[in-house]
Structure 1
């Protein structure tokens, strides 16, 4: 590497690309937006090309910026990994990304078991359903709900998934939901991450056109909460309502179950060796998931 390589400027550039904003990048780096802007201009001068098209409200990366970022991300990730290893942090901390509903239900219920077993591990959690980009060095492991196929990651199935219908006991009683013939009078709670109502209804010989009432949510936890509050029927994964069912807040209705072809997978980068803490968490997650399925 050349002695004049502007590493600080590259770090600022990476932060702007990840956040899409100079102000957000500055907040992450604990500097002022002006300082970030100065570093970006320094990098542009060093590279001899514009990296952003600037307007009043937007900063649009150029084609050169996008290409350059794809090439420097792996190097930045390796640098971060090396830094953590030398500082000894990789042996103590692990960063895990989880879907919000899965994090607040299945994982939250079991997290105390891990922290009691490994009090020395610093666990950093983030909630997201976005595609994981391990190049940005924000997580070591991730759980994602998908089909398990990815060319740049290793994905290990934790929990196979299916969906079934749930509602509150009060809602079931009020509408006397004894059979499928009662369905057209209900309110369907749609959720983006488990958008399987059409398939489920088709499997029982019905169509969404038969229903005049519905509510739509972009997050599973919102639709599940609406079901708890007697607002309708939610079609979701048993893993997301496990504790609600145990506490009697939700009850399964009807016997029809739909296999989604997806599951909750534990994902990690292919080309990075996990630190000791991440390896502990990975083994624990796999063991717990296996035990859950055996009961």
Structure 2
């Protein structure tokens, strides 16, 4: 240790909030201060440390390498402080925040959460919806659920694969009954999500189907809107089994041609090296639920045959 005095804790906390949100406005809202107060605290911290922590125009500041190194240590440190305070107060329930794809949360995760609460009443799971790439230097949540492609890498992240990825054509039962072959499906009104615009192309390659270039298309912002549009009879969607299984089993959707396996998978991501018994318990439970999840119907080229 040196005799040098540490920077003010308030300035460090302000900088960590700014770095996590990538926004002075959102940091100010979290800390209940003004935008100007955040700016002054960061400026004072830079002066105290004698290094540049941010760079760029005032409306689009980014972290320098020194700023990234600093926040890498600050975020887990402030998380540990919060945990210690909770323990000192005698709080018996630990809340963990999990970032999750919205449709996966609605259709797969939330219906299973009561079972997790029964096994772990001491852990409360708070879900936040996000489709953005995970960056634990910026994001303060405890873990994240994402679809991971084989060529994707997540630096400084531990990844646990817990569920395979299958996708196939789904639609309202009456509409799907009127489509006797895969080529008829390929020519039907086509629904897609802005979060994965290449879904039809990927499925067609895996299923060996040639898409009709003249088929009408509609795009929706998110998969949960896509699923509802398909159930309403607006067209056919290519959707992951995990997103539509409850609606197919309940009869709202039909998938007579089954689902093909993709090379991607659902994974639980967490910060590398950050030990947390509550997050461990949630990860292990996810893995067990993934193993118990019902498999999708096998692919078929002619469901009537």
- Range class of TM-score, shorter chain: 0.7 to 0.9
Single out whichever of 243-252 and 80-89 deviates more from structure 2.
80-89
SS in 1 for 2:27: helix
Given the superposition, is the C-alpha separation of residues 170 and 289 from structure 1 closer, same or farther in structure 2, using an over 3 Å criterion?
A: same
> What does 1:57-76 correspond to in 2, within 5 Å?
58-61=59-62, 65-76=63-74
SS in 1 for 2:7: coil
Distance apart, 1:206 and its partner CA: 4.0
> What does 1:216-235 correspond to in 2, within 5 Å?
216-235=219-238
Q: Show CA shifts across 1:116-174 (max 9, x none).
A: 3322222221111222222346222221101365342221211111111100113235x
> Out of 166, 169, 187, which is 1:165 matched to?
169
SS in 1 for 2:215: coil
Match of 2:211 in 1: 208
Match of 1:86 in 2: 84
Match of 1:125 in 2: 127
SS in 2 for 1:241: helix
Match of 2:42 in 1: 40
Match of 2:109 in 1: 107
TM-score for the superposition, normalised by structure 2: 0.83
Distance apart, 1:261 and its partner CA: 0.4
Quote the Cα distance in structure 2 between the aligned partners of 1:285 and 1:205.
33
SS in 1 for 2:219: strand
**Structure 2 unaligned regions, length at least 5:** 297-305
Quote the Cα distance in structure 2 between the aligned partners of 1:237 and 1:294.
12
Q: Show CA shifts across 1:23-57 (max 9, x none).
A: 211001122222212212212322445634445xx
SS in 1 for 2:33: coil
**Structure 1 unaligned regions, length at least 5:** none
Aligned residues: 286
Q: Show CA shifts across 1:172-228 (max 9, x none).
A: 35xx11223423541111223373311322455543343330112342212112111
TM-score for the superposition, normalised by structure 1: 0.86
Quote the Cα distance in structure 1 between the aligned partners of 2:206 and 2:147.
22
RMSD: 2.6
Quote the Cα distance in structure 2 between the aligned partners of 1:60 and 1:111.
39
* 8 Å Cα contact 1:76/1:135 also seen in 2: no
Given the superposition, is the C-alpha separation of residues 218 and 207 from structure 1 closer, same or farther in structure 2, using an over 3 Å criterion?
A: farther
Distance apart, 1:294 and its partner CA: 7.3
Quote the Cα distance in structure 2 between the aligned partners of 1:166 and 1:94.
34
* 8 Å Cα contact 1:98/1:142 also seen in 2: yes
Given the superposition, is the C-alpha separation of residues 144 and 198 from structure 1 closer, same or farther in structure 2, using an over 3 Å criterion?
A: same
Distance apart, 1:232 and its partner CA: 0.7
Single out whichever of 93-102 and 72-81 deviates more from structure 2.
72-81
* 8 Å Cα contact 2:27/2:38 also seen in 1: yes
Quote the Cα distance in structure 1 between the aligned partners of 2:205 and 2:137.
41
